[in-house]
């Protein structure tokens, strides 16, 4: 079943079409338009879950550099650069959905705590913590450009409180951000990989687990209601860690050394959990997050990180 351009559809796309057709036939049977469903004795083949594409460190740096418009200068160009970098950092630091980024408002930003209040699916509210670089870029955009736009709107009699605005002063939409990522991809000259907010979300999730993050906490951070996607993240994280250990075998420290490590690790008062990445892309800032879970995975994470340095 080729596409309009003649390209063959992927197995996952065909599986999705088959599931949709089966659901429609079941609806027809329930409403008595069909006596039986043709899928009653048809077993749909399961397609193996693909591995997520992850953003590499050099690709991340190229995307940040692509936010700077080389041929355009002035306040509008500087504001667009600051806004685009803030969007990238917010997505990268929190793993939130693009729809949630579009829905952010000025009152959702807590500069003192470095957190964002998110209205997720089903109107479920959660708070996500930004890393040092993410908060710095967001506040730079907010204080130097965004609040000045708000003052202009108030003088004009309009009231627009969305955090990220277009060049015309309107709230950014999902389509606008998709176009933005397409332009950044071309400027960054990243070929063979689809650059999108979902890519940053998946990279956030897998790297979070690689650094010892708790899967249950990750599910809360991402706003997932089911465990299926988290399981896929865990599977890929385990594969990447296994590949890394094959290339660089882990040297196990002696018991005496291990006891010294455990002795000097003090449990935090509020059970921090690594939640955001620093400017070096892979270093996680565990002290930024506040986890409301009863367990203390932060200590295990720090111990695991120290063991991996041996």
Mean pLDDT score, 69-78: 80
Residue 102: what pLDDT? 94
Residue 290: what pLDDT? 35
Does residue 306 carry a pLDDT above 80? Answer: no
Residue 150: what pLDDT? 53
For residue 226, what is the DSSP state?
A: S
Distance from C-alpha of 16 to C-alpha of 34, rounded to nearest angstrom: 22
Spatial neighbors of 177 by CB under 8 A, at least 6 apart, are: 87, 98, 101, 102, 197
Per-domain residue ranges for the chain? 11-48, 57-197
Going by their DSSP bridges, the two strands 125-129 and 109-110 should be labelled as unpaired
Does residue 302 carry a pLDDT above 50? Answer: no
Cα diameter, the chain: 73
253 pLDDT tier (thresholds 50, 70, 90)? very low
Backbone angles phi, psi at 82, to 5 degrees: -65, -40
Spatial neighbors of 253 by CB under 8 A, at least 6 apart, are: 261, 307, 310
Does residue 261 carry a pLDDT above 50? Answer: no
Q: What percent of the chain has pLDDT over 90?
A: 45
Radius of gyration of the chain (CA): 23
Question: 57-197: which CATH architecture?
Answer: Orthogonal Bundle (1.10)
Residue 141: what pLDDT? 94
Helix ranges restricted to H, 173-296: 174-188, 197-210, 215-222, 228-247, 255-264
Does residue 298 carry a pLDDT above 80? Answer: no
Residue 99: what pLDDT? 93
Lowest mean pLDDT among 83-92, 182-191, 219-228, 243-252: 243-252
What pLDDT, in 10s, does the model give residues 17-63? 888 999 999 999 999 999 999 888 887 777 666 778 899 999 999 99
What pLDDT, in 10s, does the model give residues 24-33? 999 999 999 9
Lowest mean pLDDT among 68-77, 105-114, 131-140: 68-77
């Amino acid at each position: 079943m080729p596409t309009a351009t003649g390209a063959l559809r992927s197995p996952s796309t065909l599986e999705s079409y088959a599931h949709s057709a089966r659901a429609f036939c079941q609806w027809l049977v329930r409403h008595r338009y069909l006596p039986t469903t043709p899928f009653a004795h048809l077993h749909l083949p399961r397609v193996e879950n693909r591995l997520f594409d992850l953003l590499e460190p050099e690709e991340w740096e190229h995307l940040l550099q692509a936010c700077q418009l080389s041929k355009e200068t002035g306040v509008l160009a500087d504001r667009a650069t600051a806004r685009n970098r803030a969007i990238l950092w917010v997505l990268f630091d929190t793993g939130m959905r693009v729809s949630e980024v579009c829905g952010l408002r000025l009152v959702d930003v807590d500069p003192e705590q470095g957190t964002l209040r998110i209205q997720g699916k089903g109107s479920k509210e959660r708070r996500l913590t930004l890393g040092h670089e993410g908060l710095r870029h967001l506040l730079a955009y907010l204080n130097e450009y965004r609040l000045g736009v708000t003052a202009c709107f108030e003088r004009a009699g309009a009231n627009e409180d969305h955090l990220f605005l277009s060049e015309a002063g309107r709230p950014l939409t999902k389509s606008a951000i998709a176009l933005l990522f397409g332009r950044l991809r071309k400027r960054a000259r990243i070929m063979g990989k689809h650059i999108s907010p979902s890519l940053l979300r998946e990279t956030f999730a897998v790297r979070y687990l690689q650094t010892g993050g708790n899967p249950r906490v990750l599910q809360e951070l991402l706003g997932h209601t089911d465990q299926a996607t988290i399981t896929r993240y865990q599977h890929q994280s385990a594969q990447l860690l296994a590949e890394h250990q094959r290339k660089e075998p882990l040297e196990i420290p002696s018991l005496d050394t291990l006891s010294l490590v455990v002795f000097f690790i003090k449990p935090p008062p509020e059970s921090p959990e690594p939640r955001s990445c620093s400017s070096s892309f892979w270093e996680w800032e565990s002290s930024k997050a506040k986890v409301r879970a009863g367990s203390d995975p932060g200590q295990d994470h720090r111990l695991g990180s120290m063991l991996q340095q041996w």
